Amino acid sequence: MCGVRSITVVALILLSLSSVVRPCPPSDRAALLAFKAALHEPYLGIFDSWTGADCCHKWYGVSCDQGTRRVADINLRGESEEPIFQRKRRTGYMTGYISPAVCRLKRLSSLTIADWKGISGEIPRCITSLPFLRIVDLIGNRLSGALPADIGRLHRLTVLNVADNRISGVIPASVANLTSLMHLDLRNNLITGPIPRSFGRLGMLSRALLSGNKLSGPIPGSVSQIYRLADLDLSRNEISGPIPEALGKMAVLSTLNLDMNKLYGPIPVSLFSSGISDLNLSRNALEGNIPDAFGVRSYFTVLDLSYNRLIGPIPNSISSASFIGHLDLSHNHLCGKIPLGSPFDHLEASSFQYNDCLCGKPLKPC
């Protein structure tokens, strides 16, 4: 009796010990070491902890699935408050490239290699073969080459952030197949070509940040079908054509930045009675009158229409807006008396300068 019981106890102890120390699969460990070998991090020593058999245990920036013990996350941020950064009193810097060896981590769910400033080379094409990927965050490096053409295969992807790199090529049409995507950030790269026409299929998208590229062609009308879209930033591109009227009818759109493009045609009436509170249309070739469509629903922290070809008066309805924090109508061809009213009381002359013949407070009397 006693013997059986002690054997059971020993077996239980062994079982629990083995589940505590069961290391990551050697193949995952080998993939991580190959990934590390392609990178050079001279200042912080973040890879010093990448030793020993168990890559799930105290390897900096690596975490594993508790059940499978497979590597689930690589989370390496070059700008962090962590002790390793505070001790050295500096931000991270790394050179080298992202090795395709990461694609051997078949259960990888997030790949964050952010703000290391010096990592170059291309995004490994093979990441599209990692079906569990939810987060790809490679912001703030020197990555070049194009986005993988078949990126649309990553049907679990919720975050795609490659901002502040040197990514070129076009936005692959397959992007429209990323139906789980919530956050798309391609800002400040060298991406060319049009926004895919079927972009509107990204039904979960809430932020689409594409500014500072070389995108051309029109704003696809399908964008207005993205029910959850709150923030659309297409500024500093070469986007042309008219602004789709339907953008002003979107349920939760609150920031619309289209400044520094080649947009022409009238400003849609819908934009002024929408939920948009941050609207920058500066530096385009927009024509016609400022729509006489302000009302109590018009609440703007920023309304910047400067550097366009707007004509006519500032509509009187603008006085009925709930709030206009920052207004810039300068560098147009507006003419007439500046309306009075509470949204205007705090504004300075610079909001109205360089027009054809505006007059009244805060400019000279009519």
CB of 215 to ligand NAG, least distance (A): 15
Residues touching ligand NAG: how many (CB under 6 A)? 13
Cβ closest to ligand NAG, residue 73 vs residue 278: 278
Asked whether the bond before 218 is cis by omega within 30 degrees of 0, the reply is no
Candidate residues 170, 182, 302, 359; the one interacting with ligand NAG per rule CB under 6 A: 302
**First CA to last CA distance, the chain:** 107
Candidate residues 41, 115, 164, 259; the one interacting with ligand NAG per rule CB under 6 A: 259
Instruction: Locate 227 and state its tokens.
Output: 């029910």
Cβ closest to ligand NAG, residue 280 vs residue 332: 280
Contact 201, 177 (CB under 8 A): yes
Candidate residues 80, 283, 317, 327; the one interacting with ligand NAG per rule CB under 6 A: 283
Please provide the DSSP assignment of 135-173 as one string: EEE--SS--BSBPPTTGGG-TT--EEE--SS--BSB--G
Within positions 55 to 114, which residues make up the interface with ligand NAG, using CB under 6 A? none
Candidate residues 212, 263, 304, 334; the one interacting with ligand NAG per rule CB under 6 A: 304
Candidate residues 174, 298, 308, 330; the one interacting with ligand NAG per rule CB under 6 A: 174
Q: Is 330 in the site for ligand NAG (CB under 6 A)?
A: no
Q: What is the per-residue burial (b if ≥16 Cβ within 10 Å, else e) of 52-89? A: eeebbeebebbebeeeebbbbbbbbbbebeeeebeeee
Q: Is 177 in the site for ligand NAG (CB under 6 A)?
A: yes
Phi and psi, residue 129, nearest 5°: -95, 15
Rounded to an integer, what distance in angstroms lies between the CA atom of residue 346 and that of residue 297? Answer: 20
Q: Is 237 in the site for ligand NAG (CB under 6 A)?
A: no
Q: Among 184, 101, 110, 189, which Cα is nearest to 142's?
A: 189
Candidate residues 166, 326, 331, 333; the one interacting with ligand NAG per rule CB under 6 A: 326
Cβ closest to ligand NAG, residue 177 vs residue 317: 177
DSSP conformation class of 120: B
Candidate residues 92, 152, 268, 291; the one interacting with ligand NAG per rule CB under 6 A: 152
Candidate residues 260, 271, 305, 358; the one interacting with ligand NAG per rule CB under 6 A: 260
Rounded to an integer, what distance in angstroms lies between the CA atom of residue 349 and that of residue 363? Answer: 6
Within positions 181 to 200, which residues make up the interface with ligand NAG, using CB under 6 A? none
Binding site for ligand NAG (CB under 6 A): 152, 173-174, 177, 235, 259-260, 280, 282-283, 302, 304, 326
